[in-house]
Structure 1
Amino acid sequence: MIYEWKYEGEQQRLLKNFLREQGISKKLLAKIKYHGGTIWLNGEERNVLAHMQKGDHVKILIPDEGEHETTVPVYIPIEILYEDQHFLIVNKPSGVASIPSRQHPHLSMANRVKGYYKTQNYVDQVIHIVTRLDRDTTGAMLFAKSGYVHSQMDKMIRNKTIDKMYTAVLSSPGSLEEVHGVIDAPIGRTDDSIITRMVREGGKEALTEYWIKEKYQEGIVASVKLHTGRTHQIRVHFTHMGAPLLGDDLYGGTLDPVMQRQALHCTKLSFVDPFTEKLVTVEAPFPEDFKEWIIKQEKQGGRDSE
């Protein structure tokens, strides 16, 4: 894939240093040099020791990645919310892991996206997951279409410039007394499990912001924004507040005949495309169990008057 920049600096500088600032690592430079890539400066092929002046135009060709043979393609249709040459955003269903596991090597979203890449005959078929979701969490899931794009998005995650919004159904109000609030409580592993997490002293910093949207007799609908990315963060934080997610039996949520999994959906992804500088905003429609549960609440008496 080809990427282009214009140098706007006032001082002369090495092309190598400029490319490093664009996120081109030494490893990627070696790949460009030895595996079929090219670097152009003002239309002429050059090496990274060339000097740049203000207004110079840089273009690089990054070699095709091919594929990882260990990721098996599965030809199950995916719901595409957004796609361009750099990104793929899909609406992940419930019951599907983000990545393959030893027990289920062929049943993940990575396998499904690999199958999609195969049917499209894309030259780059390595799967780069930017935002993972738990197996039973639904909604918008972001993939990068190359390792270089992935590295740019990882930088944005570290800088907290990818905005993710979730919708959660809470099984009780717990101690959530305000319509809007922030849960600031450290999260660490529980002592008796490698899977579950809990709020505990000495855990990693975790910050969750929420807005109560609707109150029903059997649950509360909340919008949630993560300011950190701890494992099970939303589930753990609301359990800590006495308001576990509906259907989340791992963390004490009330079981429901309609919601047969934790009621959590990644509703929106938003970020500024680092290559075009345009805002990308994608919304994922509610899955059927969310819609069915809300319809059921409306039929049973509607919103709580409190």
Structure 2
Amino acid sequence: MEKMEHIIPEEQVGERIDKVLSALNEEWSRTQVQQWIKDENVLVNGQKIKTNYKCSINDQIVINIPEPEELDVVPEEMNLEIYYEDHDVLVVNKPKGMVVHPAPGHLTGTLVNGLMAHCKDLSGINGVMRPGIVHRIDKDTSGLLMVAKNDLAHESLVNQLVEKSVTRKYKAIVHGVIPHDYGTIDAPIARDQKDRQSMAVSDNGKKAVTHFQVLERFNDFTYIECQLETGRTHQIRVHMKYIGYPLVGDPKYGPRKTLELGGQALHAGVLGFIHPRSGDYLEFEAPLPAYFEQLLEQLKINH
């Protein structure tokens, strides 16, 4: 059983415990958190509490996360945007707001549910909850994902990620005007010691490298392209915050006053990899989603 801890900051004082905890991790539903509280898997200052408990400053919350049950994932018919597919791999353009794979308490509406309705053959290396999934993008990040349809493809794609030979380019809009045209952020990332549901730059972290290029500057904002050399959780979001240019709309790493976009302005636009069977290099590009285009137009008008 995994254990996580969270200390209540000033801005969460007075909020219900189930609301606070479900906001810590996009894969935790409020219903699931309420069940953990009822099962006494959540303690506040060492005491069991009810689901309507209101948080106080510096409350020490300990969450004992139960082992995920091996549950059947239900195929769901979805209008998936498939960019490429053969017997080994599939490339899909994930919309903003969609979770990649199910988790206990959040079993439907994910990309995996849609993939299972679309094709019956997905690799089994990551178990029943994450069939075919070799890498993820955050719920509110849109863009391209490669999916393995068998174990041979899965191992090949994972090895390419480890070897840093996969091309992954993201478009983003950040707060502030970046003065230089190019940059590389080489700063290790680990779990944030103050907030276990967030990541942070840390001397004890894993190596993380992001290259960026400025595409356009506006009043108080910059439109950039980032290329990942490594693929740490929330890497671009953490790195851009670290250098003082956090992503627009980011509820976790952005400033308190940001644009309301329902999540960060981040799009995984380019994905390239070597085909596991043929050895050919394949590269795909997905256009910016409508909300992103509209935001750019608005920034140009204001500029």
TM-score by length of 2: 0.71
Counterparts of 1:81-230 in structure 2 under 5 Å?
81-117=83-119, 122=120, 127-173=131-177, 176-230=178-232
Alignment check: 8 A CA contact 1:114 1:125 kept: no
Q: Which amino acid aligns with 1:75?
A: E
Task: Provide the rounded CA distance (Å) in 1 between the counterparts of 2:227 and 2:123.
Answer: 31
The answer for the alignment partner of 1:288 in structure 2 is 290
| 3-state SS of paired residue (1:237) | helix
Gaps of 5+ in 2: 1-69, 125-130
Partner of 2:39: none
Please say which structure displays the higher CA radius of gyration: 1
Please state how far the C-alpha of 1:124 moved relative to its aligned partner. Answer: 5.3
Paired amino acid for 2:191: R
Match of 1:4 in 2: none
**Conserved? CA contact 2:122–2:132, under 8 Å:** no
What CA distance in whole angstroms lies between the structure 2 residues aligned with 1:276 and 1:91?
23
Change (3 A) 1:290 1:124: closer
* C-alpha separation in 2, matches of 1:94 and 1:239: 21
Q: For the residues of structure 2 that align with 1:115 and 1:199, how far apart are their CA atoms?
A: 39
Q: Distance in 2 between matches of 1:189 and 1:286?
A: 30
Residues 83-136 of structure 1: per-residue CA shift (max 9 Å, x gap):
12211111101111111022311121111111111xxxx455853112211111
Tell me the percent identity.
32
Q: Which residue of 2 aligns with 1:277?
A: 279
Output the CA distance in 1 between the equivalents of 2:121 and 2:230: 34
Once superposed, which parts of structure 1, at least 4 consecutive aligned residues long, lie more than 6 Å away? Answer: none
Partner of 1:255: 258
1:158-198 Cα distance to aligned partner (Å, 9 max, x none)? 1111111111110113xx43211100111111123221011
Q: In the alignment, residue 297 of structure 1 is paired with which amino acid?
A: L
Gaps of 5+ in 1: 1-67, 302-306
Provide, for residues 231-264 of structure 1, a one-character-per-residue CA deviation record: whole Å limited to 9, x for no partner: 111000100111000000211244214x331011
Please, what is the CA RMSD of the aligned residues?
Answer: 1.8
The two structures have a TM-score, normalised by structure 1, of 0.70
Q: How many residues align?
A: 227
Please name the residue that 2:7 is paired with.
Answer: none
Distance 2:284 2:76 in 1: 25
